[in-house]
Amino acid sequence: MFEGFHDVAWLEKTRAEGDVAAWLALIPYARRIGVSAGPDPRGEGVLFRLDPREGNVGNVLLSALHGGVVAAFMETAATLDLMLATREPRLPRIVDVSIDYLRTARVEPTHARCALLREGRRLANVQVSAWQRSEAEPVATARLHFVLMHPAEDA
């Protein structure tokens, strides 16, 4: 019987299959803002996408996405990317996030790619870059720290 993220067998299976969609199905806020994931055409990893939705607008005068929604997208990407990238199945719990906003995010598709800069025994550091039309012109960059929990311990 499926029990969610702390169901070790399910976590191992979805992880082996790279089934990020199965994980996203358990994250209502990520679904609400329109996060999806697909294979990265440039490499082995995952490319994340935020749908351009009217409900994600944070500034009507500038017609810009809500900076907090962009941050939530990047945090979701970092968490899921980390769940795929760790040596063993782990459940990341966020410790802190720092985000720099570089350009106005328009109501257009937004993409994100993550890099696991360090995986320690208990802590991980993930870097995220988010862009719209051109990856060379990111709208935001972020770095996040996570505690890595054993799935069975974090129920």
Partner 1 sequence: MSQREQGGVSARVSPEGWQRALTRFVTVIPHTRELGLEVMAVDPPEVLMRQPWHDDLLGDVSRGLVHGGLLTMLLDTACGSSVLCALPTPEVCPTLDLRVDHYRPAVGGYPIWARARAVRVSESIVFTEGLLWQESEERPVARGIANFVRLGPRNTPAGLVEALFAEEPSHV
Contact residues: partner 1, CB under 8 A:
3-7, 26-32, 54-62, 64, 66-69, 71-76, 93-101, 104, 154-155
CA dist 22 and 10 (Å) reads 10
**Closest CB 53 distance from partner 1, rounded Å:** 9
- CA 67 from centre of chain: 15
**Closest CB 37 distance from partner 1, rounded Å:** 15
Which contacts of 13-21 are long-range, i.e. CB under 8 A and separated by 24 or more positions?
15/83, 15/84, 15/89, 18/46, 18/84, 20/46, 20/80, 20/84
- CA 145 from centre of chain: 13
**Closest CB 66 distance from partner 1, rounded Å:** 5
CB closer to partner 1 out of 33 and 46 = 33
CB closer to partner 1 out of 47 and 50 = 50
**Closest CB 17 distance from partner 1, rounded Å:** 19
